[in-house]
Every structure is written in C-alpha cells, then in structure tokens.
Amino acid sequence: MVHAFLIHTLRAPNAEDTGFCRVLYSCIFGAEKSAEDVRPHGAERDRLLRKEQILAVARQVESMCQLQQLASGRPPSDLQAQTSDEPVSLHEAPRGVFGLAAGDPFQEPRTVVWLGVLSLGFALVLDAHDNLLLAESTLRLLARLILDHLRLLAPGSSLLLRADHVEGILSRFLPHGQLLFLNDQFIQALEKEFSASWPR
C-alpha cells in the first residue's frame, strides 16, 4: 500500500536560483504506531518528523529528476509551462524509481516512484513489496487528473489554495493509499462522479 503521496517543486538542472525544494502538498496515509514517547510534545515531534521525512523524499526526487534530465539531454525548457491546451503526454515525462533504506528516512525500507511534469514533481512512497507497475500507472493517472482538474497548464494557476481538489481525487483514485486496478471505464465513471461533486 502507498504510505504517502506528495507534490513538490522541481527546478531545472543547473538553474541559477538558489531557492529551496518546496513541498506543495503531501498526504500520509495512516501513521505507524508511534514509539512510546512519554515526554511532553511527543505528538508535535512526531509531526515534525513526518514533515521532515516527506521533505527528504522530495529533495531526493528532485535530484534524481535533475540527474535524469542531464543524462538524457532533455532541454530544460521541457519543464517550463506550456501554453497550448493540449494535454501533456505523460508517457514521455521523466519518471523513475529508487529505494529508501530502513531508517533513511522512514523506519521501514520503502520504495519511491516519481514523475516530473512541467515544474512539479509527483511521488508515491510505497511499501517495499508493492506492485510497481500498478503504482507507476496510478501515479500517471493522478498527475493527469490533478493537472486537468486544476488546469495547472494555464499560466498563473497554482494548486496551493486548492488542496481540496487533490484530496477529492485521492479519495477516489487512491483511497487511504490503496492502489486500485481500474480499467478505463472505471476511471471514466469515477472522473464523472468527481466532476459532479466538485465545483471547478
């Protein structure tokens, strides 16, 4: 099952800006049992740890994506916003997978599947023995839905104040982190349901 889903910024390789990699949205599906922490503020420390784990993953995804872009020689303009209305072909988008050892940063060993579209990175943090093929196609699906429904291709739009849309999509297509075997017809039906209950 999926442990977490996150969306973060992706800077082009060799970019001159010295800004940070920002996590724009993250959702951890059910936390593991916290260690016995009787000190005060144990809950806050837990939350801090979770946030930092997610940020660590985001940074690693960004650097993996940058390295892949450099190696494949794709021009950085690939990551810039498109002005056309055509849907972005996600089959060609840079994507990859890498492993996280136990303790670094999660307690259990995990696997990360990621996808880079324009200047956004999408990543799924999976348990070590999940169906990677399904995870990859689910990630592509989620990215497409989020880009379409939030019209992120249009200039000036952002997902920062519209996290509820992302939540709505996740609750249907990755409920509680459950990867679903959805064929095209099921996806269409779910999309219709979502559009009906969510004003744009």
Partner 1 sequence: MFSAGAESLLHQAREIQDEELQRFCSRVSKLLQEDLGPATVDALQRLFLIVSATKYARRLEKTCVDLLQATLSLSTCSEQVQVLCAAILREMSPFSALTLSCDHMQNPHQLSLVASVLLAQGDRREEVRSVNQRIFAILESRQPEGPSLRPLLPVLSRVVGLAPGTLQEDQASLLSKRLVDWLRYARVQQGTSHSGGFFSTPRARQSGPITELDGAVASDFFTVLSMGQHFTEDQWLNVQAFSMLQTWLLLSSPEGPGTADAEDRSELEGSTLSVLSAASAGRQLLPQERLRKVAFEYCQRLIEQSNRRALRKGDSDLQKACLVEAVRVLDTVCRQDPSFLYRSLSCLKALYGQLGTDAGSERALLPLAQFFLNHGAAAAVDSDAIYQHLFTRLPSERFYSTTLAFEVTRFCRDNLPLFDPHLLGLLKLSFPNLFKFLAWNSPPLTAELVALLPALVDAGTAVEMLHSLLDLPCLTAALDLQLRSSQMPSERPLWDTSLKIPGCLEAFRDLQFQPLFQHLLRTKASGSTERLVPLYQLLQPMASCARVVQCAQAVPTLLEAFFSAATQHQVADKALTNQLALLVLERSDVLYQVPQYKARVLRVLSSWFLALCKQKPSLVLELARELLELVGSMSNIQSRAEMFTCVVWAIGEYLSVTCDRRCTVELINNFFEALEALLFEVTQSRPSANLPRCPPQVVTVLMTTLTKLASRSQDLIPRVSLFLSKMRTLGQSPATSSVYSEEDVEAIRTRATELRNLLRMPSVAQFVLSPSAEVCQPRYHRDTNTALPLALRTVTRLVEREAGLLPG
Buried b (16+ CB within 10 A) or exposed e, 120-156: bbbbbbbeeebeeeebbebbbbbbbbbbebbebbeee
171 binds partner 1 (CB under 8 A): yes
Token pair for 121 = 């990175």
Closest CA to 29 of 179, 198, 195: 179
Q: Token match 């349901």: residue?
A: 193
Shortest CB 16 distance to partner 1, Å? 15
Within 119-138, the residues that bind partner 1 by CB under 8 A are: 119-120, 131-134, 136-137
Number of amino acids touching partner 1 (CB under 8 A): 79
Token pair for 100 = 């996280």
Within 179-198, the residues that bind partner 1 by CB under 8 A are: 179-187, 189, 197-198
* Binding residue for partner 1, selected from 18, 39, 164, 200, defined by CB under 8 A: 164
Question: What is the spatial distance between Cα 135 and Cα 108, in angstroms, rounded to a whole number?
Answer: 18
What x/- string results for residues 134 through 163 when contact with partner 1 is judged by CB under 8 A?
x-xx--------------x---xxx-xxxx
Shortest CB 61 distance to partner 1, Å? 11
Within 46-105, the residues that bind partner 1 by CB under 8 A are: 46-48, 51-52, 55, 63-64, 67-68, 70-73, 75, 81, 92, 96-99, 101
Question: What is the spatial distance between Cα 41 and Cα 19, in angstroms, rounded to a whole number?
Answer: 31
* Binding residue for partner 1, selected from 16, 44, 85, 86, defined by CB under 8 A: 44
